[in-house]
Amino acid sequence: MKIAKKSGQTKPVNLKLQIMDEQGYRYKGPEGYHSFIGQVMAHLGYVGGYETGNIGAHILLSDENGIIDLTCVFIRDDKKWKSRASIIRCGHTREDIKNCLIHWHERFTGNKTGPWGTLMGVRPTKLVHHFFDRGFGDKEIITILQQQYRVEKEMAERLVHMSRLQRPFVMEPRNHVALYVGIPYCSSHCLYCSFPSRLVGKEEEAGLQAFSKALETDLQDLNKLCRQYSLTVDTIYIGGGTPTCLPIAILKDIIQSVAANFSPVQEWTVEAGRPDTATKEKLALLRQYGVDRISVNPQTMQQRILDVLGRHHRVEDIYTMFNNCRDLGFSVINMDFIAGLPVQNVKDMQENMEIVCQLWPENVTIHTLALKKRAPLFHHPLRDRIPSQEEVTKMLEYCDARLVEKGYIPYYMYRQKYMAASFANVGYAFSDAIGKYNIQMMEERQTVLAAGPGGATKFINLPEHRLEKLYMPKEVNAYMASLEEKMQLRRKLCTYIYGREDR
């Protein structure tokens, strides 16, 4: 068992949320602004992506002749606050709209917006790397975040410390790349999940074999590109879905194919999210081909919650799988947890963290439930049993404090577009077990090649680090049908990025 090293710099973050009852908003205006307004409102703590009966804000926007007319009415109990502004359309129109809404909301509530200030992006540390590129020091960046973006001091410090830790991983040569492999099959659908995976039990063997064959073609094509343009794959991540739910013969074909085309690598992760699918035999197979990082994803450790989520396994299965992974010598075990599951309470999350402290996985990832329209939970009665923002905040604060106290370092984070208020998903690791792929994928400084349904290849176009993306269809049949065409497009993109003399 590894002994965690304490980080001298990392302090737990106090989320200090301004809690409200769940409130929605209504928007009327051009469709082109709808998604952006949704992000701003989620940032302010208004439920995004779906409506509730309790409407706390109306936003009206028109865009005519270069002038944006923005009106917002905030409503709380019998109190209403109406504000209006005319904004000249220019290069920073959205920034202006965002600042108006945040400013009005602060005046209406009499409270500051929270730890993130006006910083709203999905990847907050990207901005810090941008400042590092321009030669700013840690202290200067903390000041900029506080003064220009009104980020609270603790959060600003955390973002800068986290980015400093990530810096060596994002400064690798441009021909060092990561590989993602998508396996869109699961053993059952979890209530909260919106991912369109297929149920492996309903598949014919021939269908799985056809998928495996297509994936092999996809991987071979990527291998050719790597050889042609001298790209080195440093990290591999096989996710999904639940790769380990595949029958062992199919899993073996896929792992063999990945290994034949790309191994050895510095870090090779497989998501084994459902412990009932990851038998010791399958885990041994992964180890045999060089997988060294494994994700055991309990999400939570209470049987009553696993049952309502439709995760058809026992809590004991999680311990069995964890111990099998230890016995087999995986060098890094990650455990994913979700805060905000239906019927979950703060005590449950405290219990989860105590179990983490006993098991000591090298990595722990704390997610916050982001309810999406495609998830079965969206229309399910248990939606009413999702804990309040206040409870979720307590869960996250507890996790952060406990993990940091035990020597885990927060090393990457991301927010979801419509994630309520201050919430973020955070990856924690012991200092000698930082997950390189997670940083590279999140910071978007390294090319990520992707194979399989739903895979997003992202080529980094220097010097601005612009992304040239290519998405594979999520649905298996559509993926197989369009594979040849997609591979051609991918080759063209790769030639454009890596085949140019001046690059």
Q: Which residues bind ligand SF4 (CB under 6 A)?
A: 186, 189-190, 193, 195, 197, 240-242, 273-274
How many Å apart are CA 273 and CA 187, to the nearest integer?
10
Residues 6 or more apart in contact with residue 445 via CB below 8 angstroms? 129, 170, 171, 460, 465
Q: How far is the CB of 470 from ligand SF4 (least distance, A)?
A: 22
In this structure, the number of other CB atoms found within 10 A of the CB of residue 246 comes to: 25
- Residue pair 196/238 in contact by the 8 Å Cβ criterion: no
Q: Between 218 and 271, whose beta carbon lies closer to ligand SF4?
A: 271
Q: Between 124 and 452, whose beta carbon lies closer to ligand SF4?
A: 452
CA distances to 23, 190, 222, 241, 370 from 375, in Å: 20, 8, 32, 14, 10
Q: How far is the CB of 269 from ligand SF4 (least distance, A)?
A: 15
* Percent of residues in the chain assigned helix, strand, coil, to nearest 5: 45, 20, 35
Q: Between 190 and 296, whose beta carbon lies closer to ligand SF4?
A: 190
Q: How far is the CB of 55 from ligand SF4 (least distance, A)?
A: 31
Q: Between 212 and 295, whose beta carbon lies closer to ligand SF4?
A: 295
Q: How far is the CB of 440 from ligand SF4 (least distance, A)?
A: 22
- Omega before 453 within 30 of 0, i.e. cis: no
Q: How far is the CB of 187 from ligand SF4 (least distance, A)?
A: 7
Q: How far is the CB of 276 from ligand SF4 (least distance, A)?
A: 10
Q: Between 39 and 299, whose beta carbon lies closer to ligand SF4?
A: 299
Q: Between 117 and 241, whose beta carbon lies closer to ligand SF4?
A: 241
Beta strand extents in 163-300 (DSSP E only): 176-183, 185-186, 198-199, 232-240, 267-271, 293-299
Q: How far is the CB of 464 from ligand SF4 (least distance, A)?
A: 34
Q: Between 136 and 195, whose beta carbon lies closer to ligand SF4?
A: 195
Counted residue by residue, the chain has a size of 503
CA distances to 96, 378, 379 from 48, in Å: 20, 13, 15
CA distances to 280, 343, 451, 467, 484 from 174, in Å: 38, 46, 20, 13, 26
Residue type, 67: I
